[in-house]
Structure 1
Amino acid sequence: MRDLTALPHHPRRRPGLRQVLPDLALGLIAALGLAPFNVWGATVLALGALTWRLSRRQPHAVFWHALAAGTGWFALSMSWIVEPFLVEPEIYGWMAPFALLLMALGGALFWAIPIWLAARLSPTWRGRAVNIAAALVLSDWLRGWIFTGLPWAQIGQVWIGTPIAQSAAWIGAIGLSLLTAAIALLPTLFWRPLGKTLYGFLPGTVAAIALTGGLWALGLARLAQPLPPDRDSIIRIVQPDAEQHLKWDPEWSGIFFRRLLDLSAEPRRRDLVIWPETAVNFLLEDAGDLLPIMSQAADAPLVMGIQRRDGSRYFNSIAWLNRDASLGPIYDKFHLVPFGEYIPWGDAMAKIGISAFAAQQGNGYSPGPGPETLPGDEIIPDFQPLICYEAIFSQHLRATENRPSWLLQATNDAWFGTFSGPYQHLEQAQLRAIESGLPLLRAANTGISAVIDPYGDIRASLGMGEIGKIDAALPAALPETFWIRWGNAPTLILLALIFGTTMIRRRA
């Protein structure tokens, strides 16, 4: 019988295109686990096959195979990145394919470099498989921090919408990535020479199915526990459906403003009205006589996304407007989108005419002071605001001094098109609710607005392109989760133990 545990020998040269095409295909297939496809089984199978392939490559070639796989993963999962360039295609359309290529290759490097380094730590293919799986998880964590972070399309996000996602209450998003990598690893880890290669995967496949089933059962057990009764607070979320290419048009912006007022004024009890990110086309300082009109339409406190100015600086903000049209707390977005809301070395770049892509005032926004818990009133409890993609960063949920009672995400997903971006963004909001044990209310300009309970379930929503409102009771919070108390420390310690054990064995 042929020795299938021996590594194939290749000269120390870069593998050819034909050799890495299967890895590219596996990356594409793995991305089918993310929205809008949500075929999580495709992710597990593809990552399992990829782990097997990479563990059996010579370490010097692993980088190129992992780079190809990462390119496939990010090309499909981040394909929405072309949409902002198509808002004004006559100006920016030519940049779209280059943006997708750079995003795919840049994300792929976050796979290739850690996987290549991890593969070099072990002289055995089985040890390499373990290290490769751990490196994939480490990659997801690193992407949340390096270059201001972009933890989009983490492999653990494929479980959102399934009972397994409930594990995030204990281990967070990175812990879900660890579970995904572990399930995918098991067929390779327990491979045995049973006559044919596929038969050899049977023990590990059984173990992977058992682990998946056990996690699924634990998630169902958590979901079977009743939530606390809803609060006696009715919140109205308004969705005006302001298309991005019309949003700042002087004629259309008036139409959208009227929609906001009319939807806010529709009769029915509401204790708070929420408008989405940058809901209006004027600055807070220039609102003047419009504030009483907005307050009268809401007939309740109004929380609105609006731009504001402070001297020469501009901010993407959320402002609380009281019933008497006076201003309450204001939150300034602090985690800005590079090149979208600000340009690195912006003051210098502005001198040569380069400004932020999405900023409508000045040459870009300035960051606010950081995560905050804003006070409510006698009916609405304290809440933590998150503007747009701030909600994809788990770490911001653990950065406030006082735990809020609920989370508010105001966003303008019109930038993301209608295919995958808004759906992936919504699912990450669901994951934040599970991690924190807090309900999350989401006001999106063009959709998807939603009320999400602490289990991550969507109670009510407005789809893409819909004009309307949601009136819903505010769900109550769960007790502080294990993840909120301990964060990613347990997962990172486990990864450190895996790599540390490998290094000790290598030296022995």
Structure 2
Amino acid sequence: MIGRLAGRIILLSGWRRALAAFLAGALATLALPPYDFFAVCLVSFPVLVWLIDGAVDTADGGWLRRALPAAVVGWWFGFGYFVAGLWWIGNALLVDAQNFAWALPLAILGLPAFLAFFYALGVLIARLLWSDGLGRIFALAFGFGIAEWLRSFVMTGFPWNAIGYAAMPVPLLMQSDAVIGLYAMNALAVLVFASPALLADKRHRRMGLALALLLVAAHVGFGFYRLHTAPSTADEAAGGLRVRIVQPSIAQSAKWDNAARRAIFDKHIALTEAPPRPGEPKPSVIIWPETSIPYILTDTPEALSRIGEALSDGQMLLAGAVREETGAGGTGPLYYNSIVAINDRGEIIDAVDKVHLVPFGEYLPLEKWLRGLGLQEVAEMPGGFTMGASRRSLRVNDDLAFLPLICYEAIFPSELAYTGPKAAAILNVTNDAWYGNTPGPYQHFRQAQLRAVEQGLPLIRAANNGLSGIVDPFGRITDGLALNAVGDIDASLPSGVDPFWGTPPGPPQTWAILILLLAISGGFEVLSRWRFD
């Protein structure tokens, strides 16, 4: 039966092949938050393998001519994956629909069309190493591993919804990330997800499926062992720093309304001043989300005074704010998306700026040319935001510092190196109200959750409308607030753990896995040619 199905898919051509690839990619997004039905990838990737099997050019031509039909299949698979997984980005353009609704097709279809070229390249690479049977599964894993790695940095990078996340929906299945990291996980996930294609291959299916089952067993077994030997969440938090996360759930349209600024500020103050629950101590650190302070603090000293009044003795506020400074030579002003640390006297004792800005959201690439065409960034800030000079830890007091990640900085595992005092936790502040009640906030939370596992640090996440929460260094959520809930969390901060290798996984682990996959797939390809000759 599976052999007949594979044969029918292999023989598809023209628009039928493109549609099958698109639907297979779209189906794979059900493995992502908030659905987390990872089993769909065991269907999507075998279909992709069989479509690549049938994507051949019989004309006499060079290697590129022979591989191009497979690359087209990869593009359609990627287009389906990114349209179905990222359609919600268009919601941000509807906040100010009068100015940005025209760009909806670019967000919903244009961005996925661009990202799909990475998967086209991945399949192109795989097709060049293609061979019968098991070898092609290794080739596809290597190709996707390269594609996802490139997607993490090309044109500033956008590794959102990397394939590896589909293999890590719960803490039990997140622990391997601490060992090999996301980019290696991308490749191994594809290796496992594509393995059911071997059911149609009588020669290699036992070996291939046994290997896939061995990888799954190692993945699950290591997760079970690590969580079994980890302290309980209650033990982790015992005696830990008390923090309060404020989630006000301010509508994005209201944040742009000057008349609503005082009400927004007062809402944050009220949640800050709320007494702790009976029997619980006051929090030492209070967290507000990204751009939560609706004023430029240097221009509004009364706002700082009011914050100082709201804080009890010894309390510290860490809040997202827009920071302004004069540019070089008296030019400017320059605006930064920042986190500021404010003490109980209303004094700013430290501030850090966002380093990785969102293209078109917070700044315009090719600014002079695009502004000449009348374009502007979505964030309402004259001239857009300025990039921070470097990533450093945020000083909370003389004995405490956090690793600050503002908004989507949390999706870049390779960009978390920092200077300054050693961080006791990751601090991720964000404003996902741009995206409404869509999969976007759930996907964003999951990616931040995995950074805690990789870094061996607890995560404090304050999101304007959710999802906010505390995550321990094993990826377990110790407390949280639902999407669009209004309230606060008072919780003890779990302790960190040493990363598996002493430092978070990075290029050594990534390239060890990719080189191994390349060697195996290349070996099968050479053997295939030798038998043919």
Structure 2 length-normalised TM: 0.86
Aligned to 1:404, what secondary structure does the other structure show?
coil
Distance 1:41 1:447, change over 3 A: same
Q: Aligned equivalents of 1:485 and 1:278: distance in 2? A: 29
Q: CA deviation at 1:128?
A: 3.3
Residue pair 1:275, 1:410 contacting (<8 A) in 2 also: yes
| 1:335 counterpart (348, 356, 367) | 356
Alignment of 1:72-83 (within 5 A): 72-83=80-91
For residues 57-79 of structure 1, the C-alpha deviation after alignment (integer angstroms, 9 at most, x for no partner) is 32331011111111111111111
Gaps spanning 5+ residues in structure 2: where? Answer: 57-66, 277-281, 327-331
- Equivalent in the alignment of 2:366: 345
- Equivalent in the alignment of 2:64: none
Aligned to 1:289, what secondary structure does the other structure show?
helix
Q: CA deviation at 1:385?
A: 0.5
Aligned to 2:229, what secondary structure does the other structure show?
coil
- Equivalent in the alignment of 2:272: 264
Q: Aligned equivalents of 2:415 and 2:68: distance in 1? A: 38
For residues 206-260 of structure 1, the C-alpha deviation after alignment (integer angstroms, 9 at most, x for no partner) is 5534532332122121111233633531111111111111112122222111110
Distance 1:114 1:206, change over 3 A: closer
| 2:451 counterpart (415, 432, 450) | 432
Amino acid corresponding to residue 225 of structure 1 in structure 2: T
Alignment of 1:5-44 (within 5 A): 15-44=13-42
- Equivalent in the alignment of 2:62: none
Distance 1:243 1:286, change over 3 A: same
| 1:174 counterpart (165, 183, 194) | 183
Distance 1:337 1:375, change over 3 A: same
Q: CA deviation at 1:87?
A: 1.1
Farther off after superposition, 228-237 or 479-488: 479-488
Farther off after superposition, 42-51 or 275-284: 42-51
Alignment of 1:265-284 (within 5 A): 265-268=273-276, 269-284=282-297
Q: CA deviation at 1:205?
A: 4.1
Farther off after superposition, 106-115 or 399-408: 399-408
Residue pair 1:7, 1:125 contacting (<8 A) in 2 also: no
- Equivalent in the alignment of 1:217: 221
For residues 275-295 of structure 1, the C-alpha deviation after alignment (integer angstroms, 9 at most, x for no partner) is 110002211221212101112
Distance 1:238 1:94, change over 3 A: same
Q: Aligned equivalents of 1:49 and 1:162: distance in 2? A: 29
Residue pair 2:227, 2:474 contacting (<8 A) in 1 also: yes
1:303 aligns with 2:303: no
For residues 455-479 of structure 1, the C-alpha deviation after alignment (integer angstroms, 9 at most, x for no partner) is 1111111112111111111111011
Farther off after superposition, 115-124 or 243-252: 115-124
Amino acid corresponding to residue 455 of structure 1 in structure 2: F
| 2:257 counterpart (217, 229, 249) | 249
Q: Aligned equivalents of 2:452 and 2:131: distance in 1? A: 42
Distance 1:154 1:191, change over 3 A: same
Q: Aligned equivalents of 1:48 and 1:7: distance in 2? A: 12
Aligned to 1:305, what secondary structure does the other structure show?
strand
Residue pair 1:392, 1:429 contacting (<8 A) in 2 also: yes
Distance 1:224 1:100, change over 3 A: same
Amino acid corresponding to residue 290 of structure 1 in structure 2: A
Residue pair 1:191, 1:202 contacting (<8 A) in 2 also: no
Aligned to 1:342, what secondary structure does the other structure show?
coil
Amino acid corresponding to residue 318 of structure 2 in structure 1: V
Q: CA deviation at 1:502?
A: 5.2
Q: CA deviation at 1:306?
A: 0.5
For residues 17-52 of structure 1, the C-alpha deviation after alignment (integer angstroms, 9 at most, x for no partner) is 112211111111111100121101112332133224
Amino acid corresponding to residue 474 of structure 1 in structure 2: L
Farther off after superposition, 329-338 or 151-160: 151-160
Q: Aligned equivalents of 1:97 and 1:303: distance in 2? A: 37
Aligned to 1:316, what secondary structure does the other structure show?
strand
For residues 259-314 of structure 1, the C-alpha deviation after alignment (integer angstroms, 9 at most, x for no partner) is 10001011230101111100022112212121011122132211110001111111
- Equivalent in the alignment of 2:500: 481
Q: Aligned equivalents of 2:376 and 2:353: distance in 1? A: 20
Q: CA deviation at 1:367?
A: 0.4
- Equivalent in the alignment of 1:363: 383
Farther off after superposition, 234-243 or 212-221: 212-221
Aligned to 2:484, what secondary structure does the other structure show?
coil
Amino acid corresponding to residue 155 of structure 1 in structure 2: I
Distance 1:351 1:63, change over 3 A: closer
Amino acid corresponding to residue 339 of structure 2 in structure 1: I
Aligned to 2:321, what secondary structure does the other structure show?
strand
Q: Aligned equivalents of 1:402 and 1:185: distance in 2? A: 44
CA RMSD of aligned residues (A): 2.7
1:445 aligns with 2:464: yes
Identity of aligned residues (%): 31
Distance 1:398 1:217, change over 3 A: same
Alignment of 1:9-408 (within 5 A): 15-58=13-56, 59-122=67-130, 124=132, 126-158=134-166, 159-188=168-197, 192-193=201-202, 201=205, 204-205=208-209, 207-227=211-231, 229-230=236-237, 231-268=239-276, 269-299=282-312, 300-311=315-326, 312=332, 313-347=334-368, 349-350=370-371, 353-358=374-379, 360-377=380-397, 381-400=400-419, 403-408=422-427
- Equivalent in the alignment of 1:197: none
Distance 1:400 1:43, change over 3 A: farther
Residue pair 2:243, 2:490 contacting (<8 A) in 1 also: yes
- Equivalent in the alignment of 2:510: 491
Q: CA deviation at 1:166?
A: 1.0
The size of the alignment, in residue pairs, is 496
Q: CA deviation at 1:191?
A: 5.6
Amino acid corresponding to residue 124 of structure 2 in structure 1: W
Distance 1:156 1:119, change over 3 A: same
Aligned to 2:175, what secondary structure does the other structure show?
helix
Distance 1:500 1:488, change over 3 A: same
Amino acid corresponding to residue 176 of structure 2 in structure 1: S
Q: Aligned equivalents of 1:349 and 1:310: distance in 2? A: 25
Gaps spanning 5+ residues in structure 1: where? Answer: 195-199
Aligned to 1:232, what secondary structure does the other structure show?
coil
